[in-house]
Amino acid sequence: MLRFILTRLSILIPTFIGVTLLTFAMIRLIPGDPIELLVGERGLDPARHAKLRAEMGLDRPVLEQYWHYLTGVLQGDLGKSIVTKQPVVDEFFTLFPATVELSICAMLFAVALGIPAGILAAVRRGSVFDHSVMGAALTGYSMPIFWWGLLLIILFSGILGWTPVSGRISLLYFFEPVTGFMLIDSWLSGESGAFKSAVRHLILPTVVLGTIPLAVIARQTRSAMLEVLHEDYVRTARAKGLAPWRVIGFHALRNALIPVITVIGLQVGVLFGGAVLTETIFSWPGIGKWIIDSIHRRDYPSVQGGILLIATTVIIINLLVDLVYGLINPRIRHRR
Amino acid sequence: MNETAQSMSGLESAQAPPHPLREFWNYFRLNRGAVAGLTFVALVVFVALFADIIAPHDPHEQYRDHFLEPPVWEESGTWEFPLGTDAVGRDILTRILHGSRYSLVIGFIVVTLSLTVGIALGLLAAFFRGSFEALVMRAMDIMLSMPSLLLAVVIVAILGPGLFNAMLAISVTYLPHLVRLTRAAAITELSKDYVVASKVSGARMPRLMVITVLPNCMAPLIVQATLSFSNAILDAAALGFLGLGAQPPTPEWGTMLAEAREFVLRAWWVVTFPGVAILLTVLALNLFGDGLRDALDPKLKR
């Protein structure tokens, strides 16, 4: 197991360096003067330009600049936002919990519905239920989620009036964030109705962001389950006279879940991509919306830092998924 | 004697394998969903080719007396604008019909670009193992560590918003899968006898790559290309929706949705129809792609 972890880690480092190279190059690839981009002012006078150039170390050789950037990054220095003048790291971690909360809820929604739906579809293969689940899954997979969000707003906010259109909680409530997770904070605040308001704000974004993972998980569970149900050991378990739910729920499911977990891990990256769209539709104050707003505001240090942090998060999550995968499936661990 | 010879030849003709395309079609048409998908895709192609003739209006014409007119079956709807008009009085049906052109062109260009570069890099990595291969595959890993939509957003941020840059960005994000697929398939083929035979008989590197090995790697690539086609349409629409793809007043479906966003609670039709167009087109392509995969996958053949 240790050897497995070390191999994974040794792949991680070059990948991280590659990502920093990419974000480092980004500022230099954008057309225009990097100093004007980084300061956010146009038409600087030459003296100030030269001074800033020296201050930022842009008059040094590129390699030295990169080294400076990399050591800065490792010490948590990702520059300052042009618009708010705040360190990018602070901005990111203020908004990060909102995205994490939304992503976790979306994933729970997808897993809670997708796995049972996939199992049932496999067990009743060829039935009407199977066909409707697979039809719905393919539709979900083909769904432009930004449009799906707008449709749900029309139905549930416009016509039925059940859910709010945007934000994380009603403006009536105000309390200091403790964890950054609105569900927990609103619960802790003790204000009556605050928690309910947070939940109502969360429902539609959760459904929208969870739709594609839900479709993928349902499809994957069904096909993995179908494969496992043909195995000899399942037949043996049935022949022993075990109750069908025991055979399916314990014997078959345990092995069927292995590919499902891989797919869930792969969906984490998809979730971050989807968060950009979902947060934009629902004005959810998370990092997805922040990145897009930063691009539109030409706040390049924020874009640069945000991309680096998101990529790092995804790399770490992928590593964790790999490790969990190795833990539950010895065949992977022992393969070179 | 004569009789046996005759029955033998009869047996042979019965066992003669059908033409590969014919065989493929026989498997493919059994899948009703796939055939339905193919039919709808053909319809979209038809609409895109003849949008000028079919569409009742000009996609950019603004009818100043008809802002946000509802579709024909609503109370105040008219046949003049079957699916209603948008906030500046343009006919939505016309814009959707014209939008099919953008979606097909986007899909086509993205698939061509990413397939060409992906195959080239994958083949080179398979043939020149060692440091070149390591470099390419590492670069692909880095690209995979970034959510693909986000990577596309970053590239557009570097190049500047616009339809062409969006297509370029999306093509880049599809590279890793294609490179990996090509490389893996090519490495499997390279160890086979026919490649060795070709080498021995003096085939040079380019011939070996393109003529000997590549055709045998195509099946998974074709499937991936179909799926990339539908993903490209979705991603381009998403970039358009974020204001980073096609710019208004282009009648691209995602851009239309972005323009319609503020009217979501006032005029449902402005928001609904472009999305229906995206969903149906992507769904049809995915059904088609699934059918293609099943028909090309020898493991599933009975």
pLDDT in tens, A225-237: 998 888 888 888 8
* ipTM of the complex in this document: 0.86
Do residues A67 and A215 share a domain?
A: no
Q: Do A35 and A176 fall into the same domain?
A: no
Q: Hey, are the CB atoms on A138 and B286 less than 8 Å from each other?
A: yes
Residues of chain B with confidence (pLDDT) below 70 = 1-15, 297-302
Task: Write the single-letter amino acid at A320.
Answer: L
Higher-pLDDT residue of A81 and A205 is A205
CATH number, domain of A326, equals 1.10.3720.10
**Contact across the interface for B264 and A315, Cβ inside 8 Å:** no
Domain contains A83: no
* Cα B85 from Cα B69, distance rounded (Å): 5
Q: Poorest-confidence range of A114-123, A287-296, A327-336?
A: A327-336
Mean pLDDT, to the nearest integer, of A244-249? 84
Query: How many domains are contained in chain A?
Result: 2
Q: What is the pLDDT of residue A80?
A: 83
Instruction: Tell whether A66 and A154 lie within a shared domain.
Output: no
What's the pLDDT score for residue B35?
Answer: 92
Instruction: Give the residue on B whose Cα is nearest the Cα of A16.
Output: B142
Of A74, A107, A125, which closes a domain?
Answer: A74
Q: A131 and A186: one domain?
A: yes
Pair A214, A177 in one domain: yes
Looking at the fold, whether A233 and A153 belong to one and the same domain comes out as yes
Query: Does residue A312 form part of some domain?
Result: yes
User: Cβ B268–A154 below 8 Å, yes or no?
Assistant: yes
Point out the residue among A26, A158, A272 whose CB comes nearest to the CB of B154.
Answer: A26
Listing DSSP states for chain B in one string gives -HHHHHHHHHHHHHHSPPPHHHHHHHHHTT-HHHHHHHHHHHHHHHHHHTHHHH-SS-TT---TT-TTPPPTTSTT--TTSTT-B-TT--BHHHHHHHHHHHHHHHHHHHHHHHHHHHHHHHHHHHHSTTHHHHHHHHHHHHHHTS-HHHHHHHHHHHH-SSHHHHHHHHHHHHHHHHHHHHHHHHHHHHTSHHHHHHHHTT--HHHIIIIIIGGGGHHHHHHHHHHHHHHHHHHHHHHHHTTSSSPTTS--HHHHHHHHGGGTTT-HHHHHHHHHHHHHHHHHHHHHHHHHHHHH-GGG--
Return the minimum-mean-pLDDT range out of A27-41, A208-222, B64-78, B95-109. Answer: A27-41
Domain coverage including residue A225: 92-333
Determine contact, residues B267/B19, Cβ cutoff 8 Å.
no
Is the domain of A166 the same as that of A217?
A: yes
Mean pLDDT throughout A149-161? 89
pLDDT, residue A336, reads 45
Q: Residue B191's pLDDT is what?
A: 86
Residues A149 and A268 both lie in one domain: yes
Regarding whether A224 and A312 lie in a shared domain, the answer is yes
pTM over 0.90: no
pLDDT at B301: 46
pLDDT score at A246: 84
Interface of A with B in 260-299 (CB under 8 A): 269-274, 276-277, 280-281, 291-292, 295-296
The mean predicted confidence, pLDDT, of chain A is: 85
- Residues A68, A101 within the same domain: no
Q: Which of A89, A149, A69 is CA-nearest to residue A310? A: A89
**Which of B191, B201, B173, B171 minimizes the C-alpha distance to B126?**
B191
Instruction: Indicate whether A80 belongs to any domain.
Output: no
Q: Domain B37-58+77-300 maps to which CATH number in 1.10.3720.10, 3.40.50.300, 3.90.420.10, 1.10.10.10?
A: 1.10.3720.10
Q: What is the pLDDT of residue A269?
A: 79
State whether A218 and A107 are in the same domain: yes
Comparison of pLDDT for A263 and A213, the residue scoring more: A213
Work out the average pLDDT over A211-239: 90
Question: B278 touching A, CB under 8 A?
Answer: yes
Residue-level pLDDT at B237? 93
